[in-house]
Structure 1
Amino acid sequence: MRNYGKDIEMNMNRAKDTQFKEFQKSMNIFFENENLLKQAFTHSSYVNEHRRKPFEDNERLEFLGDAVLELTVSQFLFKKYPMMSEGELTKLRAAIVCEPSLVEFANELSFGNLILLGKGEEMTGGRTRPALLADVFEAFIGALYLDKGIEHVIDFLDKVVFPKINAGAFSHVMDFKSQLQELVQRDSIGALEYRVLQEKGPAHNREFVSRVSLNGDELGTGMGRSKKEAEQHAAQMALDKLKTKMEK
């Protein structure tokens, strides 16, 4: 007697294999060990429902991928922002490798369609669950590292993640002084100078006015309750001015 349940599962497996092959073509990444790729997309709920088969979930790959992602993103930021402090680099990296960012990367690549899920997890919307998608992205990084090495991971991130950093997608966590410094340094257009123009008000309610100049020409002024705050506001004005000028 024919086992229709087994036939359905075989057809599903063939369809999933086709999906993985199409994914590799679309990314121009071809795994030597395709089992690593499949493991990266295998959730523990799927393994629990297929105990008789040699499936392994992606949790170990996620652990590895998390470390590889931190290293490669750290290296990129270290080289891109030579004037940025350790604290600022850490804050920026955290914004890039946090769950919402990883989910965005995974969704752009349609990772959710490739995940192998148990029936219960599937029915409760696991394919779109943020934590699950973030884990899958890290697991994929881990699998790619094991199969191809660190340079291929960097090549992948150079297509998916680094362009977003270059486009300023995470600039909200950078301070304006650092952004201005990077812009000036990148285009080699001169030297910045900050100067306090005015201090007013009583000691307990002091207000500062600062100016930032480029090669002696004023770029912006700002007010604040401290010198640092006033300089940040001056740098923000200067950034807007320079970006507007560059767009023309």
Structure 2
Amino acid sequence: MSAQPGSSADSLNGRVAVITGASSGIGEATAEQLAAQGARVAVLARRSERLDSLVDRIEKSGGHALALTVDVTDTAAVQTAADRVADAFGDADLLVNNAGVMLPAPIEERATGQWQQQIDLNITGLMNVIGAFTPQLVRAAEARGVADLVNMSSIAAQNIFPNFAVYSGTKAFVTHLSRHLRVELGPKNVRVSALEPGIVGTELQSHVTDEGALEWLASSKESGMAWLAPKDIADVVGFLAALPSHVNLQQVTIMPTAQPS
């Protein structure tokens, strides 16, 4: 585990990072990256065995990590997790809201269960985490001069993809919410950033059952287009968190070079 150029191994020393959706993909890679830069990391997800394995790798590399098995749609459980982070590490000053799900389907199918699942996790879960940890971010920013709230959105928040209407709507919420929160929390030295990746090779694709979406994903692979890797996104998180305290990357779009939209 090593820090990237521009993100030195001690650039986040003293920081306390919380990452949701940390059992795989972007969340897992981000936890390892932030730990490599010196942050103590609390990793949140539902799959305890994967979290334990992640914590073991981080600690074997000399880092400090805490695994918290939690479903972010459970408001009380998220608050309990926030209290445990504060007890173990002190107030969190770097929150990466990454937990999410992508379930595209034509709107005419009325896949109401999938609609609700995406709204519950991508919106309600995100708000539960923001609600529980914002007091810590504000206190930490007052004490240390800076704190960061990073919300994982998607290029789908901006661009149009057939059959992705509900997912795209949840991510548009994330991006627009982030811009509002930046205005609200920026004066308190809490930087707010929305990251909007294009196609990233993660477990999200394995949840897709819609034939049209599967064909689109397959065609992008067959064209030879190199997808983003979770570590590419993790590197960006590490970079923005290590910036001088007066610099806030409000909205970052991260695309595979060959992805047209």
TM-score of the superposition, structure 2-length normalised?
0.24
Larger radius of gyration: 1
TM-score of the superposition, structure 1-length normalised?
0.25
- Answer 1 or 2: which has greater helix percent: 1
Higher RCO (C-alpha 8 Å, min separation 6): 2
- Answer 1 or 2: which has greater strand percent: 2
